[in-house]
Structure 1
Amino acid sequence: MRILRHAVAGGQSAAVHSGVTATRAAVCVTLDGDGQNPPSDLPLLWRPLLDDPDQKIGLVAGQRVGRQDTQAKKLASRFANALRGWMLKDGTRDAGCGMKGFRRETFLALPYFNHMHRYLPALFKAQGWTIVHVDVSHAPRESGQSKYTNIGRAAVGVWDLLGVAWLIKRAKTVRPEDETS
């Protein structure tokens, strides 16, 4: 096990990016540290990637079932996911779930920016990857607290959503094919 630490708080996207950059594993999975998702669900995220002989799956995205959040948070999330889904057309009903699985190299090829963790399904899809959705369990928060209010998340999210929509419109999905014999 390796322990990484940022000198100053950089947010979830920075933490995920630093962890993926530092890992030596070909497949990575993410799990929030608040205890809301059980680690026993992690195999749901890596199995599809390991069972994909053609390596067409770019992302396995967890989608929370039986959400254990306040009604206000669930309503705000439902609205945000509907708006994001309408604009980005990524087919994801719960982009806010912290449980994700992906290949290290495909993640590191994505554009890196603050709050990118909320847009991984759209970013992977824009690069031509298949997205697989799996249902994962959800429990009340055990530790920590959310860094955003619904209003704060919406204020940041509007700019991010516009920026990601622009990135997707400009995305290139051409990949080289090795013709070496």
Structure 2
Amino acid sequence: MSKVSPLLRPLQEDDLPLVLAWRNHDGVRSYMYNQHEISPAEHARWFANASQDAKRHLLIYQPTGKPQGFVSFHQLRDSAVAEWGFYLAPDAEKGTGSALGRAALDYAFGSLKLHKVCAEALSFNERSRRFHEKLGFQQEGVLRDHYFDGSRYHAVYCFGLLANEWSGGASES
């Protein structure tokens, strides 16, 4: 199992039960576009397709030998622009999210040579919006009433971070 950075490694099939448990945890699932509980079969189909797509980079954040989070980059079209997504183990220690973010963005701009990383956050996910701003992302727009959760519409905040703006998370306090 090769590492892609000192803190990240490729997602493996053996990781799927753990990553599925994280993804289905109420504290993660409630902030996703797709909020239904994902079945093991659905998760396996997703992995089979995504792991064969050269534009998708599926990674486990493992700073101390124990997986602590999942991050993915999906390159758009044939460009150096990618969307990212991530979530943590529900029992991850405070500060793990910032560390995952810095490691993942170092990988994106260093190893993947991306020009831009894009992100979206649902309007009710204040924590994600602050997280992106803390890492140096710029808010690039708001998609009004863009996401319907089954009972009401929510705005989606769009963020972007350019390679020449990435400072390794120096804006952290």
TM-score w.r.t. the length of structure 1 is: 0.28
Kindly indicate whether structure 1 or structure 2 has the higher relative contact order, using CA contacts under 8 Å at least 6 residues apart.
Answer: 1
TM-score normalised to the size of structure 2? Answer: 0.29
Q: Which has the higher strand share?
A: 2
Q: Radius of gyration: which is bigger? A: 1
